[in-house]
């Protein structure tokens, strides 16, 4: 009972009010259409993701979810856990495509028809933004949409090879009878003058799979581990009507060729892709969901696997510090990453409540750094779990390779995590230098039972790294590019210290509201996180930075925290709030040893092999059994 209460309280700390939305989405996912069978081989997981999406669509209340950040984040998290391919598809269809259409100032004519087709499941969309030569430098997109005064429409064209659209999912849908349109970003040109980048609605593929005239689409080679229909796309003077110019400000070109109600010039490119900021938050939540799922799988494996003890007998892996220690480090990292998502989600909610500018650089940078933190965390967690699973982690049925593939896609999607973090770090050069020698001298002693002192150290580290960045930038010669090249690593370290400190503060603030038992667990995790930050990044503080004052070595503190937290590994992982029964691997109620043995015992018996107690359809297995008599 105490175990369950602790897990419940910790889940409240991690996920706050969106647990209600999470439970609702779990109900949608807990039906026969989402049954998982670890033994079955899915030959086309991309097609299955589309089929599941179309099955979910009538039950999603998508038009309400898309305007509610908490609901949208919860949807992305839970679908990622159940089916990473589906999670990747949803972030395009629901947030980017549906969200963009719903934000239009006027939803009539062709926009209304596309919206109706999308919501009815007759069409799917594509968010056609990045080009072969242009990823995050959105101001330099080359695809052109030239205004034609003859009919008031626009002509889309790919003028150079570097303007070919790269990555968007423009290919014919893998299910029959479904058309596809694109929200295509192009440089609006009127009378030979570029007026900024705007989205245009373009029908790409008919319901019979025929690509529209003037459009060339070629699917890209396979992306191992994650089935998505990424493609190359070229436009050859494709005409669209005046209604196809999309804008939340009501932008249009009047009969005299005058641009009316343009998107504001300040930050124009980012205002045009307004859904990308929220998309980065959703992807951050997906990355954290990957970490949560990976840890749940690792904990299940550790409970069932045992090894030979050096003193004789067998020892469960869950009692081996060399095994559980790295997993506890990963749990601490995941808690802080989840807190960063909560921080960004609260910022979005506050901006909406206060009718503030959601496209302001402050919110952009917060979400960018959150994405950098969460995708970096998911990479470390997936790598650690894959290694801890040994041979079990190599096979797709234990999910880790698929989760890792989604992590890799998430790091690139909607702005490369490293690049957008550098952009945020660059903008932080305009912030003041708040570091003083007192910032270091006023630090108290940091021990395993002083979480507040560790928070103070995280704050001092952030200030010091920002100070070093500004000092080095100011004293470096050359033009601005040369000066930035001399400090980019310091600036990124300072930005990373900033987001980790803010996330740790959120985690600490919520921990204070918990009953004593779960509060101590959360504080011990927070302390472990801070200790490891110092162990990992301490060299950044040389020669005169604020090293924590500790009564013992950092290594000894880490080992002691591991010993305190190890008995609670199950509670800590259960608090990650995974959908019951929706994360099937071989580490279920029947142990993996039992399930593998059962699968062999059914060979030649006339009964189909079974997994987790459910019969496996022979046609779906994709394997051959060799039996020697």
Q: Indicate the CATH number of 122-269 among 2.40.110.10, 1.10.10.60, 3.30.565.10, 3.40.50.2000.
A: 2.40.110.10
Confidence of residue 337 (pLDDT cuts 50, 70, 90): very high
Q: In terms of C-beta density within 10 A (0-12 exposed, 13-18 middle, 19 or more buried), how is residue 51 classed? A: middle
| pLDDT band at residue 611 under the 50/70/90 scheme | very low
* Lowest-pLDDT range of 353-357, 442-446, 534-538: 353-357
Which one of 5-14, 254-263, 398-407, 500-509 scores highest in mean pLDDT?
500-509
CA quadruple 415, 416, 421, 427: dihedral sign: negative
Whether 566 and 324 have beta carbons less than 8 Å apart is answered as yes
| 175-198 pLDDT tens trace | 999 999 999 999 999 999 999 999
Return the pLDDT at 248: 84
Backbone angles phi, psi at 77, to 5 degrees: -60, -55
Beta-bridge partners for 259: 253
Q: Of 414, 418, 403, 423, give the one whose Cα is nearest residue 167.
A: 414
Bond before 225 cis per omega within 30 degrees: no
pTM over 0.85: yes
Among 5, 14, 8, residue whose Cα is nearest residue 335: 14
The pLDDT assigned to 608 comes to 54
- Quick check: 527 pLDDT over 60? yes
Q: Kindly give the residue spans of alpha helices, DSSP state H, lying in 16-163.
A: 19-29, 45-56, 62-65, 69-82, 84-90, 99-102, 109-120
Counting residues of the chain whose pLDDT is more than 90, the rounded percentage is 68
Alpha carbons 156 and 162: distance in angstroms, whole number? 15
Only one residue has tokens 């992807």, namely 283
pLDDT of residue 2: 55
Residue whose C-alpha is closest to residue 127's, from 348, 226, 275, 280: 275
Q: Any idea which of 27-41, 64-78, 195-209, 413-427 has the lowest mean pLDDT?
A: 27-41
What is the pLDDT, as a whole number, of residue 272? 77
Mean pLDDT of the region 604-628: 44
β-strands 231-235, 165-166 pairing: antiparallel
Task: Locate 199 and state its tokens.
Answer: 């989205």
Which range among 88-97, 405-414, 580-589 shows the weakest confidence by mean pLDDT?
580-589
Which secondary-structure segment (H or E) carries 179?
strand 179-190
619 confidence band (pLDDT: 50, 70, 90): very low
> Which sign, positive or negative, has the C-alpha torsion 462, 468, 472, 474?
positive
Kindly tell me if the per-residue pLDDT of 613 is higher than 60.
no
pLDDT band at 617 (very low <50, low <70, confident <90, very high): very low
With CA atoms as reference, report the closest residue to 381 among 298, 301, 475: 298
| pLDDT of 21 | 82
The predicted pLDDT at position 588 comes to 80
Quick one: average pLDDT of 28-57?
A: 82
Integer Rg of the chain from CA: 26
Q: How far apart are CA 545 and CA 494, in angstroms?
A: 13
CA gap 540, 191 in Å, rounded = 53
Count CA atoms closer than 13 A to 189's CA, side-chain side: 16
Q: Is 353 exposed, middle or buried (0-12, 13-18, 19+ CB in 10 A)?
A: exposed
Give the chain's mean pLDDT: 89
Peptide linkage before 543 cis (omega within 30 of 0):
yes
Domains of the chain by residue range = 1-103+274-305+316-588, 122-269
Greater confidence, 595 or 483?
483
**If DSSP states are collapsed to H, E and C, what string results for 573-627?**
HHCCCCCCCCCCCCCCCCCHHHHHHHHHHCCCCCCCCEECCEECCHHHCCCCCCC
Contact 146, 189 (CB under 8 A): yes
Position 426 scores a pLDDT of 97
Partners of 188 in the β-ladder: 145
β-pair type (179-190, 144-148): parallel
Q: Work out the number of other CB atoms within 10 angstroms of the CB of residue 518.
A: 25
The two structure tokens encoding residue 577: 């709030």
SS3 136: coil
Q: What whole-number distance in Å separates Cα of residue 438 and Cα of residue 460?
A: 10
Neighbours of 491 (CB within 10 A): 25
Q: What percent of the chain has pLDDT over 70?
A: 93
Residue-wise burial string across 299-320, b where 16 or more C-beta atoms lie within 10 A, e elsewhere:
bbbbebbeeeeeeeeebebbeb
Q: Is the separation of the CB atoms in 52 and 83 below 8 Å? A: yes
Helices and strands in the chain, H and E counts: 22, 15
250, 253, 254, 261: which is closest to 108 by C-alpha? 250
Other beta carbons within 10 Å of 223: 16
Q: What is the DSSP letter of 264?
A: P
pLDDT higher than threshold 60 for residue 37: yes
Q: How confident is the model at residue 104 (pLDDT cuts 50, 70, 90)?
A: confident
For residue 402, the Cα-to-chain-centroid distance in whole angstroms is: 14
CA angle centred on 192, ends 189 and 197, rounded to 5° = 20
């Amino acid at each position: 009972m105490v175990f369950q209460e602790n897990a419940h309280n910790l889940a409240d700390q991690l996920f706050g009010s969106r647990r209600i939305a999470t439970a609702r989405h779990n109900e949608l996912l807990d039906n026969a259409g989402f049954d998982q069978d670890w033994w079955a081989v899915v030959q086309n997981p991309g097609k299955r993701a589309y089929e599941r999406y179309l099955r979910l669509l009538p039950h999603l209340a998508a038009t309400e979810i898309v305007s509610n950040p908490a609901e949208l984040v919860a949807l992305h998290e839970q679908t990622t856990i159940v089916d990473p391919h589906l999670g990747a598809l949803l972030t395009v269809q629901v947030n980017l495509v549906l969200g963009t259409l719903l934000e239009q100032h006027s939803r009539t004519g062709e926009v209304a028809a596309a919206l109706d087709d999308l919501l009815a499941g007759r069409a799917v969309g594509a968010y056609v933004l990045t080009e072969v030569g242009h990823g995050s430098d959105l101001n330099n997109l080359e695809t052109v949409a030239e205004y034609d005064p003859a009919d008031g429409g626009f002509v889309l064209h790919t003028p150079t090879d570097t303007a070919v659209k790269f990555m968007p999912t423009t290919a014919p849908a893998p299910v029959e009878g479904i058309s596809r349109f694109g929200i295509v970003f192009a440089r609006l040109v009127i009378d030979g003058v570029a007026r900024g980048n705007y989205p245009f609605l373009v029908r790409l593929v008919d319901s019979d799979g025929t690509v529209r005239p003037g459009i060339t689409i070629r699917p890209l080679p396979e992306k191992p581990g994650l089935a998505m229909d990424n493609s190359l796309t070229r436009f050859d003077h494709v005409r669209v009507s005046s209604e196809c110019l999309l804008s939340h400000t009501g932008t249009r070109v009047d009969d005299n060729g005058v641009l009316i109600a343009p998107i504001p010039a300040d930050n124009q490119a980012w205002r045009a892709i307004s859904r990308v900021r929220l998309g980065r938050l959703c992807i951050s939540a997906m990355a954290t969901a990957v970490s949560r799922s990976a840890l749940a799988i690792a904990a299940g494996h550790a409970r069932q696997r045992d090894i030979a003890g050096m003193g004789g007998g067998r020892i469960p892996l869950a009692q081996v510090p060399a095994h559980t220690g790295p997993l506890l480090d990963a749990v601490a990292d995941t808690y802080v990453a989840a807190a960063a998502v909560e921080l960004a989600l609260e910022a979005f909610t506050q901006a909406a409540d206060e009718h503030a500018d959601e496209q302001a650089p402050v919110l952009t940078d917060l979400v960018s750094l959150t994405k950098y933190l969460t995708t970096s965390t998911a990479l470390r967690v997936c790598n650690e779990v894959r290694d801890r699973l040994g041979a079990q982690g190599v096979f797709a049925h234990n999910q880790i390779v698929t989760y890792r593939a989604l992590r890799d896609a998430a790091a690139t999607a909607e702005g490369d995590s490293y690049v957008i973090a550098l952009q945020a770090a660059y903008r932080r050069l305009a912030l003041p230098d708040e570091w003083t020698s007192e910032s270091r001298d006023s630090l108290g002693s940091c021990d395993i039972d002083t979480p507040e002192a560790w928070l103070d150290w995280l704050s001092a580290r952030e200030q010091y790294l920002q100070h070093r960045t500004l000092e080095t930038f100011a004293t470096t010669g050359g033009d601005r590019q040369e000066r930035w090249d001399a400090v980019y690593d310091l600036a990124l370290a300072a930005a990373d210290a900033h987001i980790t400190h803010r996330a740790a503060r959120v985690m600490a603030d919520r921990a204070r509201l918990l009953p004593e038992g779960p509060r101590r667990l959360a504080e011990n995790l927070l302390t472990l996180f801070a200790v490891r930050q110092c162990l990992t990044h301490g060299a950044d503080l040389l020669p005169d930075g604020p090293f924590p004052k500790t009564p013992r070595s950092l290594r000894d503190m880490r080992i002691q925290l591991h010993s305190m937290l190890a008995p609670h590994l199950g509670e800590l992982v259960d608090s990650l709030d995974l959908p019951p029964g929706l994360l099937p691997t071989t580490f279920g109620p029947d142990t993996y040893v039992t399930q593998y043995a059962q699968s062999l015992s059914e060979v030649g018996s006339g009964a189909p092999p079974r997994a987790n107690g459910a019969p496996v359809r022979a046609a779906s297995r994709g394997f051959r059994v060799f039996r020697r008599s």
